[in-house]
Structure 1
Amino acid sequence: MVEDKHVIETLGKVRVVIENGEITEVGSSEMKYCPMFHAMHGVEELNEEFIRKNINFRIKDFGMCTPERVIEMDDLVTVGISEILKTNMEMGNIDCVVGACDGAGTVIMTNPRVVQGVGGRVSGLVSTTPIPEVIEGLEERDSIVLNPETAELNQLEGLKIALDKGYKNIAITILPSPMVKEIREYPVDDDVNVYIMVAHTTGATPEEVKMLFDNADIVTACASKAISEYADKYEPYYYGLKVPIFCASEDGRELLDNRLEKIGKPLTTNEYPRNKDDAPHKLI
């Protein structure tokens, strides 16, 4: 039998393993409170019981890590990485997105609703194995799966495919890793723009965070202690109070502002000190 095993990090860098549609492992986290989950679901504590309930909901609701995976979705929250990308694709600012999908690995996407569907409600994908139905669904919607045989996660190789296809405005979603710097330093023609969006940053080290802000365009705060401290020192533009989205470049700020303007929200600000009354805790 072909292995079916998917490893994600969620809700404060908790490791969760899903095999054959069932949760087989749930780790623990020092983070016990998230203002987003408190606001949306009234959750007071991110304990193992809630984490299991939340992941099981995702499995049943949109088929995460199963053959029933929903590929296309509409906007889920007002401002997240997938919403920023979807809006800018619809505006023509982004030609394709190199992202990661459970059951497929690295995917090159050109359909805004697929970008939203793939990235909207999943957490940090650490590893995954191929699910033929998911791969077929993506390919039917004009997406390119980097390696259908292995569901490999490699955003640099995804960038290379996007370049080979002739795309000029390429966005990449990625977790904190040295590959962020490799992608930024990869040689491209003068008329090519590569936008790097880093998500699921909880647990990143101060050294990693500096590298992210030196090379990325947008960096999500999540429950990262190092990002919070970096932002307070260097005061980048941002949006949001509870779990901010930080602009690591002017390009990132423009992409984020495009989304904010579309939905009628105040644009990015660099007002410091930030209000941290309702931040995740504890930060990791």
Structure 2
Amino acid sequence: MVQDRHIIETLGKVRVVIENGEITEVGESEMKYCPMFHAMHKVDELNEEFIRKNINFRIKDFGMCTPERVIEMDDLVTVGISEILKTNIEKGNIDCVVGACDGAGTLLMTNPRVVQGVGGRVSGLVSTTPIPEVIEKLKQKDCIILNEETAELNQLEGLKIALDKGYKNIAITILPSPMVEEIRNYPVGDDVNVYIFVAHTTGASPDEVEMLFENADIVTACASKAISEYADANRPYYYGVKVPIFCASEDGRRFLDIRLDHIGKPLTTNEYPRDKSDAPHKLL
């Protein structure tokens, strides 16, 4: 029997282990404050008590890392990666998303509500194990699972499947890693576009951040000091003050502006210096 064990990084790169629907381990975080959670929940300190409460809420509310996992959702925030992808799928600009889901691993999605449901409230997925009920629900929504037996996380292999299936406008969500560059350099046809969306960047090194901006299309700021410093020096287009979303390419800016226009918000800007009055007290 496969062990039920899921590892995520969340709330300031805290490592959280969930087994059989229960939190079994909570790591340490150097970040004690997050402007998003302060605004949404009036939380002044990201301590272990709050982290456990938050993760338990996700487990109970939408079944994260359990067989009760909800896989379809409506918009959760004004602008996040899943919201950007959802809108651009609906408008026909993206026809496939290579993402990752707890209990399933890397998967291909074409349903905008599934893209939102899978990615909307889950933090960085480090590893996961198969949950048959989750995999079956995803397959019923026409998702393709990279490896149903192991729930492997491998976005490059997911890209290869998307290419084999004939998709032409492929978005990939991924955490900071050397695989971002591998995906960008992977040979695809002249009629294929690959768009890279990088999330959960807290703790990324300056060299890693430079690589991300050279290869990705959208990069979220999270609580990354290196991304904040890179942005101030290179002035990319962005949206948001508390937790900005940065455009690493013109395609990224196009996708973000399409989402912003869809919800009636001001479009991206590159006005610097940025307002960082409510940035995390201690960026990582």
TM-score calculated relative to the size of structure 1 = 0.99
Give per-residue Cα distances to partners, 1:33-73, cap 9 Å, x unaligned: 11111111111110000000000000000000000000100
- Corresponding position of 1:238: 238
Distance in 1 (alpha carbons) for counterparts of 2:27 and 2:168? 41
- Corresponding position of 2:191: 191
- Corresponding position of 1:170: 170
- Corresponding position of 1:132: 132
Contact kept, 8 Å, 1:18 with 1:25, in 2: the verdict is yes
> Which amino acid is the alignment partner of residue 45 of structure 1?
E
Pairwise CA distance, 1:89? 0.1
Pairwise CA distance, 1:116? 0.2
User: Are 1:107 and 2:107 matched, yes or no?
Assistant: yes
> Which amino acid is the alignment partner of residue 39 of structure 2?
A
Give per-residue Cα distances to partners, 1:132-162, cap 9 Å, x unaligned: 0000000000000000000000000000000
Contact kept, 8 Å, 1:243 with 1:280, in 2: the verdict is no
- Corresponding position of 1:70: 70
> Which amino acid is the alignment partner of residue 76 of structure 2?
L
> Which amino acid is the alignment partner of residue 238 of structure 1?
Y
Pairwise CA distance, 1:228? 0.5
Distance in 1 (alpha carbons) for counterparts of 2:36 and 2:222? 10
Contact kept, 8 Å, 1:220 with 1:245, in 2: the verdict is yes
Distance in 1 (alpha carbons) for counterparts of 2:275 and 2:141? 42
SS in 1 for 2:203: coil
Pairwise CA distance, 1:280? 1.5
Pairwise CA distance, 1:28? 1.2
User: Are 1:269 and 2:269 matched, yes or no?
Assistant: yes
User: Are 1:116 and 2:138 matched, yes or no?
Assistant: no
Distance in 2 (alpha carbons) for counterparts of 1:255 and 1:199? 15
Contact kept, 8 Å, 1:223 with 1:281, in 2: the verdict is no
SS in 1 for 2:219: strand
Pairwise CA distance, 1:223? 0.4
- Corresponding position of 2:149: 149
> Which amino acid is the alignment partner of residue 268 of structure 1?
T
- Corresponding position of 2:37: 37
Pairwise CA distance, 1:281? 2.4
- Which structure 2 segments of 5+ residues have no match? none
SS in 2 for 1:97: strand
Contact kept, 8 Å, 1:176 with 1:212, in 2: the verdict is yes
TM-score calculated relative to the size of structure 2 = 0.99
Distance in 2 (alpha carbons) for counterparts of 1:68 and 1:22? 13
User: Are 1:252 and 2:252 matched, yes or no?
Assistant: yes
> Which amino acid is the alignment partner of residue 172 of structure 2?
I
Give per-residue Cα distances to partners, 1:107-134, cap 9 Å, x unaligned: 1001000000000000000000000000
What does 1:52-71 correspond to in 2, within 5 Å?
52-71=52-71
Pairwise CA distance, 1:2? 2.2
Distance in 1 (alpha carbons) for counterparts of 2:228 and 2:77? 22
- Corresponding position of 1:206: 206
Distance in 2 (alpha carbons) for counterparts of 1:36 and 1:210? 25
Distance in 1 (alpha carbons) for counterparts of 2:205 and 2:2? 36
Give per-residue Cα distances to partners, 1:189-244, cap 9 Å, x unaligned: 11111000000000000010000000000000000010001000000000000010
> Which amino acid is the alignment partner of residue 50 of structure 1?
F
- Corresponding position of 1:222: 222
Structure 1 stretches of 4+ moved >6 Å:
none
- Which structure 1 segments of 5+ residues have no match? none
Distance in 2 (alpha carbons) for counterparts of 1:35 and 1:221? 12
Distance in 1 (alpha carbons) for counterparts of 2:10 and 2:230? 22
SS in 2 for 1:58: helix
Distance in 2 (alpha carbons) for counterparts of 1:203 and 1:2? 31
